[in-house]
A and B are shown apart, each in its own frame.
Chain A
Amino acid sequence: MVPPAAGMGLQGQDERERFENEVRRILKAAGGERLVLRLLGSLAFQMHCPRYGFLQAKLGRAYTDIDFASYSQQAKGIRDLLGRLGYAEDREIFVVTEGGRAIFQNPVIHMHVDVFYGKLDFSHVIPWDGRLEADEPTIPLAEMLLEKMQIVQINEKDVIDTIMLLLEHPLGNTDHETIHMGRVAALCAADWGMWRTATMNLGKVGLLAQGYVQLEGVDKARVVEQVQAALARIEAEPKSLAWRLRARVGDRVKWYKDVDEVQ
């Protein structure tokens, strides 16, 4: 039997609540110390999608760890905070990533916490750029969409999270309960590689959504409509000279970074 991919598989409600409660405990403690700590990853999608969050459990999307975003100036405060909450940091990761990422383990409750400082840097770079204050307790919805759409080797768990996001929130030009497409389009217009991956993945999400029997017909149509609107907004954004030049080279040269998975 083939084991489920990471982030997929049946997960009991007790286990899901254990992750969700731990997130709330960390966020409450961070808020008390005025630290800018925003949730991303599967738990962020769950928290920011109260109407469609049930799809994660229904489609077999499991929590595996807790991911946060913050600014590098907050690294010491976050390290101290998580230390008080029972977490130990793997200092080597922080050093190797030049302060871009920190990994913490809580050996008692067996929780794994990732903190991404300044940016998310996998297949493409999503800079936080002072954007973390735009939403709470998660990163802004635009960055949540980009977090998934920047993954070249996108997998089912990422597709499920994106479907939830697109069903739950309208597209627009604000961050309040809205996916700020101006921000998405600007990042895609600044970097052809990001545009290439994000538009490719949006198309995949629209297609793959049609294959989920757990989704109602109206929801499938809504996902397609949202994908088409997002693609149209991205296309409408004026592109830089560098973007247009890179576009001429196209797929002949690799447009993304290979991701070294840090466990």
Chain B
Amino acid sequence: MTGRVRDLMHPGLITCSMDTPLGQAAMLLVRHRVHAVVVNDRDGRPAGLLSDFDLLAGEWLSKDPESLEAMRRMTAGDLMSAPLNTIEGEASASEAAERMRREGFHRLIVRDQGRPVGVLSISDLVAHLATGEPARRETVADVMSHAILVCREETPVREVARTMTEARYRSVLVLDRDGRPRGVVSGWDLLACLDGGDGAEARAEQVMHPALTIRPEASLREAADLMIEHHYHRLVVIDPARPEAVPLGILSSYDIVSEMARPGSVWQT
């Protein structure tokens, strides 16, 4: 893995003080959409890290009112992990990845000449990994999204909408209880739930549209033909030998456009 830690990290630190109650620390994580905050000591120096996993202890141990009260009295300083695990900004991405794997860390505080300047998390390294280009981009299998967001037929659409928003996905594949594909819910389908009625109480199976399927070895041209002919924005990629099995992936119109925009594609030469 190439690249320097300083280029991959999230610059800046979200901090709280040692005496911040756990409830407030949780709010800080949500507000800044981060998974950990740096806990500063009384002199404002980073002393430890409080992650969302650490905060789980609040729910985990609040089995009765007495325990809940004890946990509510705890602060970020009580629950943080210390000392901070740091890495220099000049270190390579592979060095950071190796250290995370070896020492079981999920994030490292990045230092520049000894001063904390940012946070490098597993997600940052994963995002870096995702930027690598596949060797071949000719078929549906080459450009489809292999990871798919799924829900069951009975999933409430409110949950579907929440998950799509949080995961930043534009569609959800609907499976039956045995994992067979039954349809797709897209943002378009969810518009019907905003008509002022009780649409948000509906289930996925009530708003989904039928899945249009394609083989993984099909060309991008075939995929584009199919989308245009049916006016579909996404195709469900299935294993032709096992069409009822969990699909191999999803191909969206955006995936094809991304391929067109890729430097070196036939559209850019």
A residues neighboring B (CB under 8 Å):
241, 244-246, 248-249, 252-254
Contact = CB atoms under 8 A, between A and B. Distances in A.
B267 interface: no
Main secondary structure of the interface of A (DSSP, over half): helix
Contact of A254 (B67, B73, B74): B67
Nearest to B68: A253
Contacts of A252: 70-71, 73-74, 78
A196 to B, nearest CB: 13
A249 B61 contact: yes
A218 to B, nearest CB: 44
Contacts of A244: 81
B115 to A, nearest CB: 27
A253 B70 contact: yes
Main secondary structure of the interface of B (DSSP, over half): helix
A246 B61 contact: yes
A243 to B, nearest CB: 12
Interface string B220-263: 00000000000000000000000000000000000000000000
B200 to A, nearest CB: 37
B67 A248 contact: no
B66 interface: yes
Interface in B33-88: 53-54, 56-57, 61, 66-67, 70-71, 73-74, 78-81
B143 to A, nearest CB: 37
Contacts of B56: 245
Contacts of B71: 249, 252-253
B57 A245 contact: yes
Contact of B53 (A241, A253, A254): A241
A35 to B, nearest CB: 37
B67 A245 contact: no
B223 to A, nearest CB: 43
A168 to B, nearest CB: 38
Contact of A245 (B54, B66, B70): B54
